[in-house]
Amino acid sequence: MTALKVGALVPAEGPMRVHSVYRRAVNLEISDARGLVSLVDRAADMAPAALLLDRLPAPLVRGTECTLNRSMLRIGREWLVDCADAQRWDGCLPHGAEYCITAQRIAALRTLVVEHGSAGGLLGLIHEPAHNPVSAFAQRLLAAAVDPPITAQAAIPTAKAAERDVSALVGLGVGLTPSGDDFLAGALLAQELCHASGTCCSSLNRTAIEQRLHATTSAGQTLVAAAVRRQFPAYLLQLTERLFTVEACPGAATPPAAPQRVESGLLEHGQTSATDAAVGMLWFFMNFIKKA
């Protein structure tokens, strides 16, 4: 087998073991850390802590010992993955890309999520009929970030005091990556899009999020730790490219309108992961973009 791409957050070497096996991914747990390295065979599933292979090894058993060095991944006694010529993939917003955050584009994202999103996670935060106990609890936690309580310390005008703390969502929910973690990845991406497009917005407290990573799963920690570093999975970058990229329009006085049709397939990642991440993006846009 051959590795075509290697994520920037994949360690150069070290022991691992098979953590979980799915039809489209194999997750390896790093022995000396609470993080995962994913093996995938589709570019759409690429992530900062993943290896894109020409094919997945199968069958595999949980707990199988693995060893990674700079040029080779050994899985048990049977599988070898050649990593020597793999292209580095960082998961950042593409350098030089232009983005535009408008009410029309935000509305297009909301339409996509409401019409094609998966219930069961945090969809209820932006769509009342999908409300459930998890989204209701998240709504209470997020209310403090939108309208933080006024204290003597908060009244001191410092940069940290102005940052919004949404770290209570780390680990909220169930699953390989809990809904709260997917939400945070989307919210952090929305902040990056605002910065890239020159849109004035509030800032999230990244330090507070990092300090709570112990409260989630290994997969959730891997996802959120990358997002704090401004690195995101491919499916989220694809979503931003489809909805928020400024197309080349020589001579146009204004950026083009939001796409008239968006693909429902953009939310087909995990049971609710893509939906929850998109909800995080929407929630950030609706609450933290500063009006002129």
Q: Which CATH architecture has domain 3-89?
A: Beta Barrel (2.40)
Report, as an integer, the average pLDDT of 216-225.
96
pLDDT digits over 257-280, tens only?
445 455 667 888 888 999 999 999
**Mean pLDDT for the chain?**
87
- pLDDT value for 15: 94
Compute the distance between CA of residue 67 and CA of residue 16 in angstroms, rounded to an integer.
6
**Largest distance between two CA atoms of the chain:** 62
What pLDDT, on a 0 to 100 scale, did the predictor assign at position 43? 94
Residue 166 near residue 142, CB atoms below 8 Å: yes
What is the pLDDT at residue 221? 96
29 pLDDT band (50/70/90 cuts)?
very high
Residue 176 phi, psi dihedral angles, 5° rounding: -60, -50
Rounded to the nearest angstrom, the gap between the alpha carbon of residue 209 and the centroid of all alpha carbons in its chain is 14
Q: Which residue has the higher pLDDT, 78 or 37?
A: 37
pLDDT, tens digit, 9 for 90 and up, residues 130-152: 999 999 999 999 998 887 654 44
* DSSP code string of 33-75: SS-EEEEESSGGG--TTEEEESS---S--TT-EEEE-SSEEEE
For the cut 70, the answer to whether the pLDDT of residue 247 exceeds it is no
Exposed e or buried b for every residue in 181-196, given b needs 16+ CB within 10 A?
bbbbbbbbbbbbbbeb
Spell out a b/e string for 73-100, using b for 16 or more CB atoms within 10 Å of the CB, else e.
Answer: bebbeebebebeebeebbbebeeeeebb
User: What is the per-residue pLDDT across 31-54, written as a single tens digit (0 to 9) for each?
Assistant: 877 789 999 999 999 999 999 999
Q: Where are the domains of the chain?
A: 3-89, 103-288
The DSSP output letter for 10 is S
Confidence of residue 95 (pLDDT cuts 50, 70, 90): confident
With bands split at pLDDT 50, 70 and 90, how would you rate the model's confidence at 159?
Answer: very low
Neighbours of 43 (CB within 10 A): 13
**Pairing of β 25-30 and β 14-21:** antiparallel
Asked if omega into 59 is within 30° of 0 (cis), the reply is yes
